Amino acid sequence: MQNRRDFIKTILAGSTILAIPPALMAFSEKNSLKLVILHTSDTHSNIEPFPANDTRNPNVGGVARRAGLINKIRSENEHVILFDSGDIFQGTPYFNYFNGKLDFELMSKLKYDAATLGNHEFDNGIEPLVENMQYAKFPFVNSNYDFSETSLNGKIEKWLIFNRGKLRIGTIGLGINPVGLITKSNYKGLIYKDPLTEGDSIAKMLKEEKKCDFIVAISHLGYDMGKEIDDKKLAAKSRYIDLILGGHSHKFMKTPEIIYNLDNKPVIVQHSGMGGLYLGRLDFTFFKDNVKMKSELYTINN
C-alpha cells in the first residue's frame, strides 16, 4: 500500500496533484480561482534557436518562439505570472556584444513579472549590471543579498506581492553563495546571507503580516549542491514557502518534485532547464480547502 508521499508522486507523474497549502483560502467549490505560473531559468543569452546542426538540441529554443507560446497562454488564461530564476547573461556572442542590454529589453517585451539574480549577472561587475538594468521593465527580487554598500542598493526588491483576482502571491528571490563562483572584485560590497534563514523569515512575514495566500521562491541556489543550501534543503527545512522555482543546476524536470517541510507540508520544487529550450508551466486551481495543480514543460520549437 502506498504512503501519502508515494501517492502524490504517482499522481504527479500524471501531471495532477492535490496539495493543501498553509494558507487560508476564501474560495468555495463554485468560486475557485485558476493561476498559471510560467518559469524560465539559465537562458544564458540564447536569443536565437540552437543551430540546426547542434548535436543535442537542434533548432530548439529562441526568444521569438517563447514569446509566441507565452502570448498564447496569456490569451487563454486570465491570471498568469512569468518568472525567471537567473543566469540571464553569458553564453553567446549576444552577451559579449550587448552586455545584457538585449536580454533585458527582450524580457521586457515578453512582460516578465519578476526575475532573480544568478551568478552570471555579475560577470562584468556590479556597475555594468546597474547600467543595463535601465532596460529591464520588470523588478528584480533577492532576499538574501545585502546590497547596501553597492550601487545596486535600492534597485533590488527584498520581496514582491502580486495580486491575481482574490489571490495574493508573495514572492522572494534567493541567490547562491558568490564565493568561488564570481570574481571577488565583481561583487565587491555585496554581503551574502543564509538563504534559508532570510528566505523563510520573509516568507513568514508575507503570510502572517501581508496576508499572502501563496509564497513563491524564485531561486538560483541550485538543486543538489552538497553542503551548500540548495532548493532541496530549502524545501525540507523551511515552513512558509509553497513553491520553489529553481535555477543554476540546468536541471530539466518534466514534473515537479514534492518535498515535505518541517511542518510536514508539501513544497513544490520545479526546474525548467537552461538555454531557453523549455518553458515551465504550473496550473493551480485554488479552492476553499485545497489546491489542485497540474504541470507541463514545453519544448520551445516550431
Nearest to 297 by CA among 249, 257, 265: 257
**3-state class of 73 per DSSP?**
helix
Query: pLDDT, tens digit, for every residue of 111-152?
Result: 999 999 999 999 999 999 999 999 999 999 999 999 999 999
Alpha-carbon torsion angle 192, 196, 202, 205, nearest 10: -150
d(CA 230, CA 28): 36
How far is it, in rounded angstroms, from Cα 109 to Cα 136?
Answer: 9
Q: Which domains, from first to last, does the chain contain?
A: 4-299 (3.60.21.10)
Question: How many CA atoms, within 13 angstroms, populate the side-chain half-sphere of residue 271?
Answer: 23
Nearest Cα neighbor of 172 from 214, 110, 122, 138 is: 214
Query: pLDDT value at position 65?
Result: 97
- Cα distance between residue 107 and residue 136, in whole Å: 7
What mean pLDDT is predicted for residues 273-297? 93
**What pTM was estimated for this model as a whole?**
0.91
Q: What is the mean pLDDT of residues 181-208?
A: 98
Provide φ and ψ at 7, rounded to 5°. -60, -45
Instruction: Please report the pLDDT score of residue 5 as a whole number.
Output: 39
Task: Tally the C-alpha atoms within 13 A of residue 278's C-alpha that lie toward its C-beta.
Answer: 21
pLDDT band at 211 (very low <50, low <70, confident <90, very high): very high
Say how many Å lie between the first and final Cα of the chain, rounded. Answer: 43
Is the confidence at residue 200, as pLDDT, over 90? yes
Residue 150: predicted pLDDT:
98
Measured CA to CA, the distance from residue 31 to residue 48 in angstroms comes to 42
The per-residue pLDDT for range 13-37, each reduced to its tens digit, is 334 444 444 444 454 445 789 999 9
Opening angle at CA 237, ends 120 and 268, nearest 5: 70
Dihedral angle, C-alpha 231, 87, 190, 192, nearest 10 °: 10
- Whether residue 80 is predicted with pLDDT greater than 50 in this model: the reply is yes
| CA-to-CA dists, residue 59 to 50, 56, 257, 278, angstroms | 5, 10, 29, 13
Q: Cell 530539466 belongs to which residue?
A: 252
pLDDT band at 237 (very low <50, low <70, confident <90, very high): very high
97: exposed, middle or buried (C-beta count within 10 Å: 0-12, 13-18, 19+)? Answer: exposed
- Coil, strand or helix at 132: helix
User: In the predicted model, what is the mean pLDDT of the chain?
Assistant: 91
Percent residues over pLDDT 90 in the chain:
87
Please say if the pLDDT value at position 179 is more than 90. yes
